[in-house]
A and B are shown apart, each in its own frame.
Chain A
Amino acid sequence: MPKTHSTLLGVTRGLLWLMLALVAVLFLFVIGVGAALIVIWPEIAAEAKNSQVFLDADAMRPQLFALLGFFAAVLAAALYILRKLQALVASAAGDPFIPANADRLRHIGWALVAVQLLALPLGSIARGIAVPTSQFADMGGINLNGILSILLAFVLAAVFEKGAAMRADLEGTV
């Protein structure tokens, strides 16, 4: 393997671990915020009212719980995608054109679809509780980059499937 490729793979491997750590931190953040919503809700509601970001700070606790739930589901999908990407990168050190990698890419594509679907209720809840001009109201919703990523994952899965079939043919050629 050329040196630049192995360096790139090494960097990618490191970045994936970094992103996994970030997802773990965000999971802890979700748990922390969930606990805070239970334990110190009056203080949070008062602070939210002062921020002028929310429409009805006193009545938004159920929506915040729902937001946390959807956010946790997005994080779970992100964790799944990152683990699949790690397996892909690990296989790239040897022969990446194997049927398992086509399956991994297809699974990543479906996980990205799930993320986009989860972003819809997430965005709708955020818009329901925050003032329209706030950054909070911009959360979630349809994302063009996300849709492009889904297409890319499925196209790459098809390419890898074809590549794996060609490799199998080549290996059976004497």
Chain B
Amino acid sequence: MAIVVKLDDLLHARRMTLTDLSDRIGITLANLSILKTGKAKAMRFSTLEAICTELECQPGDLLAFEADS
């Protein structure tokens, strides 16, 4: 998919695990794992808001567009 989720990089920069994030924002580890591995087909604004709030970032820090080669 052309949309890349950079959750792994953001977590790494903040020295936070996926489990920590899951506990803090109340989204299941399974769903966050789907997001992190790029298997998600869509993302709710509420999820985006929760992640951006917790990681103090902008949506653009989390998502990027990479044209399919």
A residues with CB within 8 A of B: 168-169, 172-174
Contact = CB atoms under 8 A, between A and B. Distances in A.
Interface of B: 27, 31-32, 34-35, 39-44, 47
Nearest to B44: A173
Contacts of B27: 174
Contacts of A172: 34, 39-42
17 contacts: A168-B41, A169-B41, A169-B42, A172-B34, A172-B39, A172-B40, A172-B42, A173-B41, A173-B42, A174-B27, A174-B32, A174-B34, A174-B35, A174-B40, A174-B43, A174-B44, A174-B47
A99 to B, nearest CB: 16
Of B31, B42, B44, chain A has the most CB atoms within 10 Å of the CB of: B42
Nearest to A171: B41
Nearest to B35: A174
Contacts of B42: 169, 172-174
B2 to A, nearest CB: 15
A174 B22 CA distance: 12
B28 to A, nearest CB: 9
Contacts of A174: 27, 31-32, 34-35, 40, 42-44, 47
Most chain A beta-carbon contacts within 10 A, residue among B34, B41, B44: B41
Closest 4 CB pairs of A and B: A172-B41, A173-B42, A174-B40, A174-B35
Nearest to A168: B41
A97 to B, nearest CB: 16
Contacts of B35: 174
A114 B35 CA distance: 47
B9 to A, nearest CB: 17
A171 to B, nearest CB: 8
Nearest to B41: A172
Contacts of A169: 41-42
Max chain B CB contacts within 10 Å: which of A169, A172, A173, A174?
A: A174
Nearest to A169: B41
Nearest to A172: B41
Residue of A168, A169, A172 contacting most chain B CB atoms (<10 Å): A172
Given A173-B41, A174-B27, A174-B47, 6 more contacts: A172-B39, A172-B42, A173-B42, A173-B43, A174-B31, A174-B34
